[in-house]
Amino acid sequence: MSGKRSLIRSGTTVDQMVRAIGDRIVTGFLRPGEKLDEASLAARFDVSRTPVREALGQLSAMGLVERRPNRGAIVAVVTQEHLASMFESMAELEAICARFSAERMTSSERRALEIEHQGSARLVQLRAEEDYEYFNTEFHTRLYRGAHNAHIYEMTVMTRSRLAPFRRAQFMLPGRLAKSWQEHDAIVTAIMRGDGAAAGNAAKDHVSIVSEASAVFAVGDQPKVASTMPVTAG
């Protein structure tokens, strides 16, 4: 079991582990509070405990994992209060991104945002929750990038990752899809006008509503689909 890796892997083993474990956390495959046994993880991914340990350390630094000295690691379990603080932060961060986007997006960025947004109207009529969820992520990522600020981008994507386990059910609420699209529309309109303040307010309201919708479902849900965890900036 030395030397050869069975699968083709890019980057170092530790990076792979960070992605693999982090992915399972943000997609809900590993649930908050679940124990992360080093030996099991090592066996599961066919590596030794060392890279697993390093990965857990990094995930701990990111806030996805909680490490108790000599007592092992668990998937970070956040209190209701801390969860609320993250949603509130998310609203503020999105507001900043929207405001900056309104002020700074290039014309091609604006065009792409509008085209994608208009294209998604179809998904609402079809009630295609899964597809809309994908579009939704894309849409918000455009806002984060459009802010043209690398550090805010990092913080925002990071916060979104940490919130991911708690917001998966947001589009299950009846009528949420159409409402979401209208809220996006308000943001897009403001950005097109170059009205930073309005864009910021619209984005903040949008996230606040998502927050309330997600709070209902709070903890626990089944795993759905694997997605590469977008923890670091690109």
* Stretch binding a copy of itself (CB under 8 A), from 40-48, 52-60, 107-115, 212-220: 52-60
Q: Which of 185, 181, 198 is nearest to 103 (CA)?
A: 198
Q: Does 53 sit near DNA (CB under 7 A)?
A: yes
Pairing of strands 65-68, 35-36: unpaired
* Stretch binding a copy of itself (CB under 8 A), from 47-55, 104-112, 121-129, 181-189: 47-55
Q: Does 3 sit near DNA (CB under 7 A)?
A: yes
Q: How far apart are CA 173 and CA 217, in angstroms?
A: 10
Cβ contact 56:21 at 8 Å? yes
* Stretch binding a copy of itself (CB under 8 A), from 26-34, 80-88, 101-109, 185-193: 80-88
Please identify, using beta-carbon distances, which residue of 90 and 191 lies nearer to a copy of itself. Answer: 90
Three-state DSSP class for residue 69:
coil
Cβ contact 98:143 at 8 Å? yes
Q: Does 150 sit near a copy of itself (CB under 8 A)?
A: yes
Cβ contact 163:90 at 8 Å? yes
Amino acid at site 111: R
Q: What number of other Cβ atoms are within 10 A of residue 218's Cβ?
A: 12
Q: Does 81 sit near a copy of itself (CB under 8 A)?
A: yes
- Shortest Å, Cβ 230 to DNA: 22
Q: Does 88 sit near a copy of itself (CB under 8 A)?
A: yes
Q: Which does 194 bind (CB under 5 to 8 A by kind): a copy of itself, DNA, none?
A: none
Q: Which residues bind DNA (CB under 7 A)?
A: 1-3, 12-14, 36-39, 47-51, 53-54, 67, 69-73
